[in-house]
C-alpha cells in the first residue's frame, strides 16, 4: 500500500518494539499495582481497538503524510496492547491460583506446582489461540 523500503518497514517495527519495551517497563509495571490487572488488560484491549480502527481507516486517506502518521499512531496503540494485555492477563491468572487445595505433605510446594500447572495451561491455550485464530479467520 505504501511501497515502503526495507528501512522504512524496519523503522516502523523498531518503533513498535521500542515503544512496547518502554511502556511495559516504565508504565505497565508501575500502574498495574495501582489500578489492578483487570483494568490494565481492559486498557490494552481498548488501545487494540483504536489501533485496528486506525489501520482500517488507511485505505480512505489520500494524503501520504497523513497516512504515515496514522500508521505510526496505530503502531503505538498496538505497542501499548503488547505491553499491557499479555502481562496483565498472566498476572491475573496467577492471582486466581492462590487458593489451591493442598495434598498435605508440603503445602508451599503443592501450591507452587498447582500455580505452575495453571499458568502453563493458560499460556498454552493462548499460544493455541494465536495459531488457530488466523486459520479460523481465513
Task: For the chain, give every domain's residue range.
Answer: 1-85, 97-138
Q: How large a percentage of the chain has pLDDT more than 90?
A: 46
Provide the pLDDT for residue 49: 96
CA distance 96 to 89: 11
pTM of the model: 0.77
Provide the pLDDT for residue 106: 58
pLDDT, the chain, mean: 86
Provide the pLDDT for residue 102: 54
Dump pLDDT digits (tens) for 89-116. Answer: 888 888 776 655 555 555 566 667 777 8
Inform me whether the pLDDT recorded for 71 exceeds 90.
yes
Amino acid at each position: 500500500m505504501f511501497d515502503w523500503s526495507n528501512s522504512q518497514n524496519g523503522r516502523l517495527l523498531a518503533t513498535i518494539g521500542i515503544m512496547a519495551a518502554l511502556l511495559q517497563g516504565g508504565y505497565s509495571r508501575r500502574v498495574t499495582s495501582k489500578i489492578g490487572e483487570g483494568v490494565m488488560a481492559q486498557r490494552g484491549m481498548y488501545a487494540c481497538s483504536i489501533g485496528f480502527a486506525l489501520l482500517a481507516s488507511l485505505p480512505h486517506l489520500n494524503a501520504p503524510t497523513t497516512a504515515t502518521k496514522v500508521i505510526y499512531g496505530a503502531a503505538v496503540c498496538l505497542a501499548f496492547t503488547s505491553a499491557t494485555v499479555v502481562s496483565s492477563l498472566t498476572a491475573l491468572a496467577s492471582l486466581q491460583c492462590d487458593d489451591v487445595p493442598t495434598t498435605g505433605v508440603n503445602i508451599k510446594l503443592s501450591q507452587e506446582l498447582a500455580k505452575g500447572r495453571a499458568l502453563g495451561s493458560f499460556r498454552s491455550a493462548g499460544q493455541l489461540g494465536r495459531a488457530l485464530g488466523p486459520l479460523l479467520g481465513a
